[in-house]
Structure 1
Amino acid sequence: MSNDIGPTFRSKSNGQERPISLGSAVPAGLGRTLPPGYIHLGVAKEIAPTLHEFGIDPAPVIREAGLDPGLFDDDANIIPHAALGRLLTLSVARTRCPHFGLLAGRHATILSLGLVGRLIQHSETVGDAVQSLVSNLSIENRGAVPSLTISDGMALLTFSIYLLEAESADQISDGSLAVAVNALRALCGADWNPAEVLLPRTAPADQEPYRRHFRAPVRFNQESATLVFPARDLDRRVDGADPMMREVLEERVRQMKIAQGREFSDDIRRLLRTRLTSTRCSAEAIAETLAMHRRTLSRRLKDSGIGYRAIANEIRFEIARQLLQDTEVPLGQIAAALGYSEASAFTRAFRRWSGRTPKAWRADGRLAPIAQSVNVLSSRVKHGASGSLQ
């Protein structure tokens, strides 16, 4: 596909004007549109060389995950997010390395983020760069969603997975934060470190690889995958940023969003995944956030073939499943994070969704096929099983 789309801009270099077209700013292959549930290979391309480091031929592992090894020759190729999860599950099993996702992520660079990575390289400030990541990552990854919050002088950059079929959420979270740190060091300098790192996974026996990469305290068994750093770092200016190049890249991102289109139910899933554990998320509140009437929200979701309550249940189940499977967070804390006033209400809802209590899921559900539970939930929510807060 051609990358020469849109106008040609002019930028000054050494006192002379030079034309910049979208084609010269964007390497061939970048900017392919993504359907919901897919990602550009990007960071995941590092899985193959990481397997090589363990002396393992990646091709058979990639095939077992249902993918063509040839896809990994170009990080602009797209794959299902679910396949990424399967590949990471297989990679952990083959290498017997519980932090495989961290190793793959630490090899990635800011350019592994594709078109968005190039855009944030040319942002005026680190804050602009992070906002560009939050606003635009969906053109590179439609299986996870970042968010930024500021609290008590600290910035919290969080990555959340919002797909029911996601395997190895802990590995994906590890890799996401690993490459996010690499990107921030590219913007702030190699000596930049976060204040702390939060990970939604049990503490591994060997924590040294995490301390070595993040160079900061790492807290496991958390509710989210979050980098915490001083909010003042957002005011840092990005060295080498080219305003004209930024304008060109912003135009390409805008075109990509138009070409990609919007699936309203997917937008709601992304929004709920970033807010469900931290704020009020009734249908009325979400409609207000989107500057629309509650009835308009319901009508647009109905046109997508699903209701708000069903989507909210999907996201609640996904969050609960990830925390039960990957962490030792107490049930009462999970219930509170999902907005339930009592653990018993959460237990009843979880039993309706999965057919088991949260305690039973945690005890033996980690070994059960994920697809079985996903099918159970899909069937139940489509038939109106709720147990959620409205």
Structure 2
Amino acid sequence: MRQVDGTECLTAGDSRSPSQLPQTVPAAIGRTVPPGYIHLGVAKEIVPTLRGFGVDPEPVIREAGLDPRLFDDAMSVIPFAALGRLYTLCVTRTACVHFGLLVGQRASILSLGLVGRLMQHSHTVGDALRALVSNLSTQDRAVVPALTSRDGTALLTFAAYQADSGSGTQILDAALGVTVNILRTLCGSSWNPTEVLLLRVAPPDAEPYRRHFRAPVRFNQEIAAIVLPARDLDIRVARADPMMRALLQERIQQLKSAQGSEFSDDIRRLLRTRLTSNHCSADDIAHLLTMHRRTLSRRLKGSGIGYRAITNEIRFEIARQLLTDTQVPFAQIAAALGYSEASAFTRAFRRWSGQTPTAWRTEGHHE
């Protein structure tokens, strides 16, 4: 356990139960975060990770366009475009392709601010993960989580929202790294996932991933996800405080009400995790938002963009990431994005980018 700015921070190796963690909620955690920005949160660990490589963090942070003093406070708000630049620079300076994983494994449940506090006071692990999915946007709008459960297996998926080429890999590695720490805080330090799926090319040395996750790791996947037994969702969170949970839920709801994000941005975030699961028609999204299909269209029209245009925008973003960060075959990418055949995907990608998927991948849009 260490202290930063008077607030205790749980280290990755801290195995105390949630009831033994700090119970107060610093006022600073209550700041809202606008679209395009994140609270520093997990990324605060970039500084000690750089120092671990003998690299002075300040020049690197400045080169990314950020003030190094922001990293004194996990609740500092920064543009996630700057975070992407910073991760890219960190990988270059350290020559470490799993830099994001090292950042994530240093972080903890308290790195997620109010959302982390709510998770530590949730009734069950499933409730905690659903709280993460529902509320992470108040803390971090660069990552979009989703939770699904089927046939005895639960899948906690993460998508990097509007990440630049290369930086999405690091952002997702960090998200998966800290989430496994969080699950070990909630379930016990001996907990391990069934397997971990990574949306990235296999690195020369996969041992850091196997060592942290303590589970089979599969690279070149269409999604980044933690796979766990569905029964683990029913694990009770030890000595969670219902009164604290209610207070935290109320505080987060107030933040969400004040957030004022654009409706089209909310739709983009929903599509980012659903486009590859074929549950993304306008009717599906309208049903998810408990509104009529015509209401969805009308509200999007007010934002100046149609549903099909947003869908194509997100398809292009996912396609770029899969072509850049993985070696997933084109036919598999086409199927993941809902195309009946690879040729239809190729035509669409050429329309979006002016290039074929083959040209895009071979021109070296890689880390």
Provide the TM-score with structure 2 as the length reference. 0.91
Tell me, in whole angstroms, the C-alpha distance in 2 between the residues paired with 1:279 and 1:86: 32
Name the aligned partner's letter for residue 305 of structure 1: G
- Superposition deviation, residue 167 in structure 1: 4.8
Tell me, in whole angstroms, the C-alpha distance in 2 between the residues paired with 1:326 and 1:212: 22
Tell me, in whole angstroms, the C-alpha distance in 1 between the residues paired with 2:366 and 2:235: 46
Matches within 5 A, 1:269-288: 269-288=268-287
Gaps of 5+ in 2: 1-22
2:56 corresponding residue in structure 1: 57
Name the aligned partner's letter for residue 104 of structure 2: G
Name the aligned partner's letter for residue 150 of structure 1: S
2:104 corresponding residue in structure 1: 105
Give the 3 Å change call, closer, same or farther, for CA 292–365 of structure 1 in structure 2. Answer: farther
* Residues 350 and 358, structure 1, Cα contact 8 Å, conserved in 2: yes
1:31 corresponding residue in structure 2: 30
* Residues 25 and 245, structure 1, Cα contact 8 Å, conserved in 2: no
* Residues 139 and 257, structure 1, Cα contact 8 Å, conserved in 2: yes
- Superposition deviation, residue 247 in structure 1: 1.0
- Superposition deviation, residue 290 in structure 1: 2.2
Tell me, in whole angstroms, the C-alpha distance in 1 between the residues paired with 2:197 and 2:366: 25
1:41 correspondence with 2:40: yes
Name the aligned partner's letter for residue 187 of structure 2: C
* Residues 142 and 163, structure 2, Cα contact 8 Å, conserved in 1: no
Higher gyration radius (CA): 1
* Residues 120 and 130, structure 1, Cα contact 8 Å, conserved in 2: yes
- Superposition deviation, residue 33 in structure 1: 1.1
- In terms of mean alpha carbon deviation, does 284-293 or 124-133 score higher? 284-293
* Residues 86 and 167, structure 1, Cα contact 8 Å, conserved in 2: no
1:220 corresponding residue in structure 2: 219
- Superposition deviation, residue 263 in structure 1: 1.8
* Secondary structure at 1:366 match in 2: coil
Deviations 1:76-114, CA, capped at 9 Å, x for gaps: 011111111110000000000000000011000110011
1:96 corresponding residue in structure 2: 95
1:8 corresponding residue in structure 2: none
Deviations 1:119-138, CA, capped at 9 Å, x for gaps: 10011111110110011001
* Secondary structure at 2:277 match in 1: coil
- Superposition deviation, residue 164 in structure 1: 5.6
Give the 3 Å change call, closer, same or farther, for CA 280–133 of structure 1 in structure 2. Answer: closer
2:315 corresponding residue in structure 1: 316
Give the 3 Å change call, closer, same or farther, for CA 367–206 of structure 1 in structure 2. Answer: closer
2:337 corresponding residue in structure 1: 338
1:139 corresponding residue in structure 2: 138
1:13 corresponding residue in structure 2: none
1:366 corresponding residue in structure 2: 365
Tell me, in whole angstroms, the C-alpha distance in 2 between the residues paired with 1:133 and 1:362: 34
* Secondary structure at 2:196 match in 1: strand
1:208 correspondence with 2:207: yes
How many residues were matched structurally? 345
1:351 correspondence with 2:359: no
Give the 3 Å change call, closer, same or farther, for CA 105–308 of structure 1 in structure 2. Answer: same
Highest RCO, 1 vs 2 (Cα 8 Å, sep ≥ 6): 2
* Secondary structure at 2:30 match in 1: coil
Name the aligned partner's letter for residue 333 of structure 2: I
Tell me, in whole angstroms, the C-alpha distance in 1 between the residues paired with 2:270 and 2:87: 26
Matches within 5 A, 1:160-175: 160-163=159-162, 165=164, 167-175=166-174
- Superposition deviation, residue 328 in structure 1: 0.4
- Superposition deviation, residue 367 in structure 1: 5.7
* Residues 325 and 366, structure 2, Cα contact 8 Å, conserved in 1: no
Deviations 1:146-175, CA, capped at 9 Å, x for gaps: 000012101100111221646511111111
1:77 corresponding residue in structure 2: 76
Matches within 5 A, 1:121-136: 121-136=120-135
Gaps of 5+ in 1: 1-23, 369-390
Give the 3 Å change call, closer, same or farther, for CA 75–166 of structure 1 in structure 2. Answer: farther
* Residues 164 and 314, structure 1, Cα contact 8 Å, conserved in 2: no
Tell me, in whole angstroms, the C-alpha distance in 1 between the residues paired with 2:173 and 2:301: 36
* Secondary structure at 2:365 match in 1: helix
* Residues 324 and 366, structure 2, Cα contact 8 Å, conserved in 1: no
- Superposition deviation, residue 310 in structure 1: 1.6
- Superposition deviation, residue 31 in structure 1: 1.9
- Superposition deviation, residue 32 in structure 1: 1.0
